Chains A and B, each alone.
Chain A
Amino acid sequence: MFDKIAAKYEQKRTAILPLLHIIQEKEGLISSEAEKNIAEYLDVPVVHVHEVVSFYHLFRQTPKGKYHFSICQTTACALLGSEGIIEHIKDRLGIKPGETTPDGKFSLSAVECLGACEIAPVMQGNKEYIGCLNKKKIDEIIDQNS
């Protein structure tokens, strides 16, 4: 699978982002073991891979919850109440942005603009965009995934 993706690019090292996405999709995060493997595969120093992994917000090195809330907190969403949404999740789950519930079921991030301001306030629940958020929608998601 790696070879098929890398073959599309002039230089193999260019395929680092799509390859990291595949690893994270499969393993839930990018471990230091995975960094080493990718470095070897792309023939680049491990520190280069680590630099890339830590630069891009979508890559994680710590596990997230089974259901991950990424709540947009930028202007359009903030104007329509994203702060209240984040507060409500904090109250319901007892976690702050950046944290995971002890049972590993939920985690929460406050993120910058997701590019879906027309359905603000918006979030990504795992990867799915869910818009026009309110407390009831959040409660339903929490109940379904508890």
Chain B
Amino acid sequence: MEKIVTRHMFQANTQNNFIGYLKDNGYQAARKALTQMTPVGVIDEIKRSNLRGLGGAGFGAGMKWSFIPQNNLKPKYLVVNGDEGEPGTFKDKYILEQDPHAVLEGIIITCYAVGSHKAYIYIRGEYTKSLHSMQNAVAEATKAGFLGHDIMGTGYDIDVVVHPGAGAYICGEETALLESLEGKKGFPRLKPPFPAVEGLFGCPTVINNVETISCVPAIINKGAEWYAKLGSEKNGGNRLFCVSGHVVNPGVYELAHGVTLREIIYDHAGGLPHGRKLKAVIPGGISAPVLTPDQIDVKMDFDSLKAIGSMAGSGGIIVMDDTTDMVWAAMIAARFFAHESCGQCTPCREGSGWVYRIIKRIYQGGAREHDLLNLPGIVNNIGGNTICAFGDAISMSVGSYVTKFRSEFEAKIKR
């Protein structure tokens, strides 16, 4: 299978890859876009490629770009979301560290398409290597004339700022990220207005994930039809899947959208160690409802996972073997949500801690009479009642453990 995002990665000399990137048609897609295509033409190409937002929402990238109003005199911004924090997800780190120039070239093309002259790359604060790698790449690209003033002699200016986060999961939510980037605590905003209309500093803003942006140069080089054909019906190209937990070969795998979860676990990640059996698997980061072994023939695209009541999310697959105590696993998830709730909306702030405390006492053997009865009601009252999707994530994720492994919860209570 042809690799796109990882074509320069996992090689011996992936550090300092500027020269290698240039040799492999580097920055030629940006040159092509800026000299031979109109901004509308670029957006159209991306739309036809079926490139979908790979941060988790799966929204059409070209569609998103087309929402930027062009009759507006305000400056327009591109924000690249590298605040990778969804448990089970670690793909953007590899892109930022090993192919930073693909991100920068994607930025140039995206900025041109939407009429932006300034881009921010927001990288989670713990990723110090990614921050250094991107800062270094920006310096290299600026020196070579690919960024800054009058790039490649086209008269177009693009300024790129690499911005460090500071350890708040919620800042991966796009409007919380904008608040954070404006120097505030990361509280998600009410939508609408959507960032395309009122984003950073109240100006039209496109926010895309690192992986999404890094796919853009290849699409411009090889064409929308090529990219669309690689994927499935509504999903262009490939996707990076991060596999962790109880597997023989954890890591990042670039695979077609149509791959099944079974193929990823057993063919690519080497199956489960010690001859153990699969008990449960999270298919798209901790926010995605957990799946049982009878569900793993699902295709890993956005629509197929949605159809079986879970989600493709960020592509983070966490595998659990038959030794896993699912009440304990639910407690770990609930603790994560309780810890990372930003505190803005009452149902989430209070509910996340409440859910964690209940599951913890069920696990530790101190359950009260109505605990298991109350739990579904509490999680359902968080979902749908908050400003951002974090509340829905608590509800869907924790709710799925209770529904699918109810007997384990009951056994703990009876004990």
> Which among A8, A20, A127 is the interface contact of B128 at CB below 8 angstroms?
A127
A9-B161 CB under 8 A given contacts A14-B181, A14-B182, A52-B185? yes
Category for how many chain B residues contact A? 35 or more
Contacts of B129 on A, CB cut-off 8 Å? Answer: 129
> Which among A11, A112, A124 is the interface contact of B87 at CB below 8 angstroms?
A112
Interface hits, A21-49 → B, CB 8 Å:
21, 42, 44, 48
A115 and B124 contacting across the interface, CB-CB below 8 Å: yes
A75 and B93 contacting across the interface, CB-CB below 8 Å: no
A141 within 8 A of B: no
A79 and B87 contacting across the interface, CB-CB below 8 Å: no
CB distance from A60 to the nearest CB of B (A): 10
Contacts of A8 on B, CB cut-off 8 Å? Answer: 159, 161
A95 within 8 A of B: no
Interface flags, A97-128, vs B, CB<8A=1, else 0: 00000000000000011111111100010010
State in angstroms the CA–CA spacing of A129 and B251 once bound together.
16
B93 and A115 contacting across the interface, CB-CB below 8 Å: yes
CB distance from A54 to the nearest CB of B (A): 8
Number of interface residues of A (CB under 8 A): 41
CB distance from B119 to the nearest CB of A (A): 12
B295 within 8 A of A: no
> Which among B84, B86, B165, B320 is the interface contact of A17 at CB below 8 angstroms?
B165
B126 and A118 contacting across the interface, CB-CB below 8 Å: no
B168 and A55 contacting across the interface, CB-CB below 8 Å: yes
> Which among B87, B90, B166 is the interface contact of A20 at CB below 8 angstroms?
B166
Contacts of B124 on A, CB cut-off 8 Å? Answer: 115
A75 and B286 contacting across the interface, CB-CB below 8 Å: yes
A114 and B126 contacting across the interface, CB-CB below 8 Å: yes
CB distance from B12 to the nearest CB of A (A): 19
A115 and B324 contacting across the interface, CB-CB below 8 Å: no
Interface flags, B213-246, vs A, CB<8A=1, else 0: 0000000000000000000000000000011111
Using CB atoms, name the residue of chain A closest to B187: A55
A143 within 8 A of B: no
A74 and B201 contacting across the interface, CB-CB below 8 Å: no
A118-B250 CB under 8 A given contacts A42-B183, A55-B185? yes
B324 and A79 contacting across the interface, CB-CB below 8 Å: yes
Contacts of A140 on B, CB cut-off 8 Å? Answer: none
> Which among A11, A20, A124 is the interface contact of B182 at CB below 8 angstroms?
A11
State in angstroms the CA–CA spacing of A84 and B336 once bound together.
18
B186 and A55 contacting across the interface, CB-CB below 8 Å: yes
State in angstroms the CA–CA spacing of A117 and B285 once bound together.
11
A115-B126 CB under 8 A given contacts A74-B286, A120-B244? yes
Contacts of B245 on A, CB cut-off 8 Å? Answer: 75-76, 79-80, 117, 120
CB distance from B200 to the nearest CB of A (A): 8
> Which among A20, A79, A115 is the interface contact of B318 at CB below 8 angstroms?
A79
> Which among B128, B167, B333 is the interface contact of A56 at CB below 8 angstroms?
B167
A115 and B339 contacting across the interface, CB-CB below 8 Å: no
B90 and A116 contacting across the interface, CB-CB below 8 Å: yes
B166 and A115 contacting across the interface, CB-CB below 8 Å: no
B332 and A58 contacting across the interface, CB-CB below 8 Å: no
Using CB atoms, name the residue of chain A closest to B170: A55
> Which among A21, A42, A56, A75 is the interface contact of B332 at CB below 8 angstroms?
A75
B63 within 8 A of A: no
State in angstroms the CA–CA spacing of A21 and B132 once bound together.
14
Interface flags, B112-156, vs A, CB<8A=1, else 0: 000000100000111111000000000000000000000000000
State in angstroms the CA–CA spacing of A113 and B332 once bound together.
11
State in angstroms the CA–CA spacing of A44 and B184 once bound together.
11
Contacts of A13 on B, CB cut-off 8 Å? Answer: 182-183
A117-B242 CB under 8 A given contacts A14-B181, A21-B125, A79-B320? yes
State in angstroms the CA–CA spacing of A140 and B355 once bound together.
38
State in angstroms the CA–CA spacing of A129 and B166 once bound together.
16
A58 and B167 contacting across the interface, CB-CB below 8 Å: yes
B89 within 8 A of A: yes
B60 within 8 A of A: no
CB distance from A46 to the nearest CB of B (A): 14
Using CB atoms, name the residue of chain A closest to B324: A79
Other A-B pairs, 7, CB within 8 Å; known A55-B342, A117-B88: A8-B161, A16-B183, A57-B166, A79-B320, A115-B90, A118-B250, A127-B126
Q: Could you give 10 example pairs across A and B, Cβ below 8 Å?
A: A9-B161, A57-B167, A75-B87, A76-B244, A79-B320, A79-B329, A113-B336, A115-B89, A117-B244, A120-B250
Per CB-CB distance, the 4 closest pairs between chain A and chain B, nearest first, are: A117-B244, A56-B166, A58-B167, A57-B167
Q: Which residues of B contact A (CB under 8 A)?
A: 75, 84-90, 93, 118, 124-129, 159, 161, 163-169, 180-186, 201, 242-246, 250-252, 282, 286, 316, 318, 320, 324, 329, 332-333, 335-336, 339-340, 342
